[in-house]
């Protein structure tokens, strides 16, 4: 019975591929939102974005994953602008988390991820913002790194770097820009995301390349 159960686990893993946990204790993941409005440009960033991606580097047939952003952590560098974006537009007190979900077939590619070589694909991602759900096209760049001297500068284990860009139409998510902000905040916001995940997630600071920081 034990051998059958072990065989089932191995088969399940083979079918699902490797799971890369994109939860960085050092908070080096990044999401950037760019508002290029009529008379003002604003850039909001956050390092409080995390998630996971599941893919088989040797047989790139599917790509699944999820990520989430705590919108309360978006920072423009200006407190007044932070209030406008976080509270007045995104209602962060009521909807603190925005999410994205990937579940796409890449079978037509008939390719694999090569160590250190980026691969770009265009996929659809389901986003949920302010309790509204929309499916948007996303440009995704994947770069796989087998564990070695280079990869351990970031995290232990085999790594997957995910870089993605997409546009968010605020109206599609029921976000109405007040008239007094109409020239200050754009209606469509280009977004870029960069996350690195490991198939051997560190569970304490000792597993990070820099170890425990001295006080």
Tens digit of pLDDT per residue, the chain (215 long)? 444 333 333 333 433 579 999 988 889 999 999 999 999 999 999 999 999 999 988 888 888 999 999 999 999 999 999 999 999 999 999 999 999 999 888 766 778 899 999 999 899 999 999 999 999 999 999 999 999 999 999 999 999 999 999 999 999 999 999 999 999 999 999 999 999 999 986 545 444 444 444 43
pLDDT for position 206: 45
The conformation of residue 148, written as its DSSP 8-state character, comes to S
pLDDT for position 58: 85
pLDDT for position 12: 38
36 within 8 A of 77, measured Cβ to Cβ: no
Spatial CB neighbours of 199, under 8 Å, sequence gap ≥ 6: 18, 19, 20, 21, 157, 158, 159, 160
Nearest 5°: the CA angle 37, 40, 45 is 85
Q: Which residues pair with 70 in a beta bridge?
A: 97
68 within 8 A of 95, measured Cβ to Cβ: no
Element (H or E) spanning 2, and its range?
Answer: helix 2-16
pLDDT for position 103: 84
Domains of the chain (ranges; CATH) run 17-207 (2.40.128.110)
pLDDT for position 5: 34
pLDDT for position 46: 98
Spatial CB neighbours of 181, under 8 Å, sequence gap ≥ 6: 84, 88
d(CA 140, CA 67): 14
């Amino acid at each position: 019975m034990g051998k059958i159960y072990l065989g089932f686990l191995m088969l399940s893993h083979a079918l699902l591929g490797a799971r890369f946990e994109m939860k960085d204790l050092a908070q080096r993941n990044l999401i950037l939102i760019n508002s290029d409005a009529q008379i003002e440009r604003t850039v909001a960033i956050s390092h409080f974005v995390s998630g996971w991606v599941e893919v088989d580097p040797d047989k790139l047939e599917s790509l699944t994953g999820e990520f989430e952003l705590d919108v309360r952590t978006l920072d423009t560098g200006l407190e007044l602008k932070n209030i406008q974006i976080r509270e007045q537009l995104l209602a962060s007190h009521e909807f603190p988390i925005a999410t994205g979900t990937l579940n796409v077939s890449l079978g037509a590619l008939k390719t694999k991820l090569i160590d250190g070589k980026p691969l770009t694909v265009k996929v659809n991602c389901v986003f949920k913002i302010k309790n509204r759900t929309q499916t948007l096209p996303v440009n995704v760049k994947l770069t796989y790194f087998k564990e070695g001297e280079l990869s351990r500068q970031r995290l232990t284990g085999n790594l997957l770097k995910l870089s993605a860009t997409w546009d968010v139409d605020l109206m599609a998510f029921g976000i109405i820009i007040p008239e007094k902000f109409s020239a200050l905040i754009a209606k469509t916001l280009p977004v870029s995301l960069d996350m690195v995940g490991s198939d051997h997630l560190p569970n304490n600071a000792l597993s990070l390349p820099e170890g425990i920081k001295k006080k």
